[in-house]
Structure 1
């Protein structure tokens, strides 16, 4: 399907994107996906009605149009999760457009997304997480590279960092104190505690690293001194998990899941863990934890004595 859309519709789309950036501090990857999803919807309407979709036609979208769009997505092989994301972007665009242009967006907002089973992240057991770090350190033939990889994975598990956050650390972030200021998704800042074991792993790497460490240079370097490619960390954890006989779900991101789950299992407060992970909503944090409901309720009652 051609993604040609009318100038008026394109202007509206870019206006909404600008508003999303300004108001929500949306991450660039999210903005790119939003733009593509809504452009796809407008292009579908153009083909469906065989005419350009300016602002007036966009305001006249019907329940039948929405059903046709969802059928089109299904027919193109889109997975339920992908369909739900696309519909969510379209609804967000229409809320903004309806307020700006003064029309009723009920037909769009009442469209229902397909149900899908949320994939729960699978954290590693504590001994498996430690074994993963040890095994990662032994994958490289060059000692400093093994120390580097172990330091990165230790930060994922010991501080709950995303891989992009760990690799985004700069020379100026060292030496690390008891806490670390992290800029996460959407430019949101948070403070995370740094465990002595994580600080020691980074120190070992820096002692062995042959590249000069400047304040404005990446902390973690590739073999030739450039910024470390996240794919290299994914590859080394893949080799380690295969050697340890761990499932395919034992990825770098699983180390972050494990951080959250083990903290909660030790009696950590769910809200505090939410802040440490940098999640916008508590429900996202809950999905990261695979602790049984009985234990979760015990933690909840202990930290919220007035509940119930």
Structure 2
């Protein structure tokens, strides 16, 4: 490990960056250095601009991926190397604003029915019932299930934050049925490697398999169940602030995007077309004269 890599790793650890964030930033900076075949210390703003153009035009990366690279390079130069640069020297690409595609309650039920493994079905059911990220589901421990208070404890979720979410009676029944067959000890959903939880990739593969079996036209990922959780709560009249707390969002503006997809927000507004008088059917056009 080079001294620069070690220093950047220490800087991220001091700021308590998540492990995945640290790994991602190091990978992005390593790819940047490999592109120019020299240390990033020898490169400047024009080199950063050239690399961003390469990622955009040659590799055709999505704005979201470009944003991760940009954040990593900003941290490297402005924090670790303490260069007197501004954010304009490493511009952040603007990401398109996209709304999530929401599964209906009937589609969620049909999808879960198509998960053929009890363990995988319980994992995906938990993601929907509590609105959890897939990383939060797979890192649940047996002790995180509090049936006395009817809550699930989410330890060190995104942003290194703990929170509690509701434990529905129906989910508790599903977890108990799963526990009677598997008897997990530490991790609620253990993986194939002893002492480790199930991997994210395994859950995503199970989700893809169930999606094909369900033949649902909409895209379905484990995160789709989190989107459905928030939207269905909002449609049922749950307060937006409470949904924010359950999802673990830092900002209410992040949660408010579900207002744009909730049926009771969109469909309860009356279209001006419905206020118009009934329209007469269009008159049929006369047939053109026969020319032969």
TM-score by length of 2: 0.74
> Does the CA-based 8 Å contact 2:153-2:165 persist in structure 1?
yes
The answer for the alignment partner of 2:72 in structure 1 is: 89
Task: Could you tell me which runs of 5 or more consecutive residues in structure 1 were left unpaired when the two chains were aligned.
Answer: 1-6, 140-144, 299-308
> Does the CA-based 8 Å contact 1:13-1:93 persist in structure 2?
no
1:34 Cα deviation after fit: 0.7
Deviations 1:105-126 (A, max 9, x none): 03x6344344443443322111
The answer for the alignment partner of 2:273 in structure 1 is: none
Relative distance call for 1:91 and 1:271 in structure 2 (3 A) is: farther
Deviations 1:216-256 (A, max 9, x none): x2223569998544444434433433333313512222111
Relative distance call for 1:262 and 1:93 in structure 2 (3 A) is: same
The answer for the alignment partner of 2:30 in structure 1 is: 39
> Does the CA-based 8 Å contact 2:235-2:264 persist in structure 1?
no
Matched, 1:243 2:218: no
Relative distance call for 1:278 and 1:17 in structure 2 (3 A) is: farther
Matched, 1:179 2:161: no
> Does the CA-based 8 Å contact 2:55-2:66 persist in structure 1?
yes
Moved more, 158-167 or 196-205: 158-167
Q: Could you say which structure has the larger radius of gyration?
A: 2
Rounded Cα–Cα distance in structure 1 between residues aligned with 2:177 and 2:27: 44
The answer for the alignment partner of 1:194 in structure 2 is: 167
Matched, 1:164 2:171: no
Partner secondary structure for residue 21 of structure 2:
helix
Partner secondary structure for residue 154 of structure 2:
strand
Rounded Cα–Cα distance in structure 1 between residues aligned with 2:113 and 2:263: 32
Rounded Cα–Cα distance in structure 1 between residues aligned with 2:193 and 2:33: 46
The answer for the alignment partner of 2:275 in structure 1 is: none
Task: Could you tell me which runs of 5 or more consecutive residues in structure 2 were left unpaired when the two chains were aligned.
Answer: 269-292
Rounded Cα–Cα distance in structure 2 between residues aligned with 1:152 and 1:241: 15
Rounded Cα–Cα distance in structure 2 between residues aligned with 1:213 and 1:245: 32
Aligned match for 1:30, one of 21, 24, 28: 21
The answer for the alignment partner of 1:104 in structure 2 is: 84
Kindly tell me the number of residue pairs found equivalent between the two proteins.
263
Partner secondary structure for residue 229 of structure 2:
helix
Name the structure with the higher helix share. 1
Alignment of 1:1-308 (within 5 A): 10-23=2-15, 25-44=16-35, 46-47=36-37, 54=41, 57=42, 61-62=44-45, 64-81=46-63, 82-97=65-80, 100=82, 103-106=83-86, 109-136=88-115, 139=116, 145-146=117-118, 148-174=119-145, 176=147, 177-183=149-155, 184-207=157-180, 209=181, 211-214=182-185, 217-221=186-190, 227-247=197-217, 249-287=219-257, 290-291=260-261, 295=265
1:206 Cα deviation after fit: 1.8
Relative distance call for 1:20 and 1:75 in structure 2 (3 A) is: same
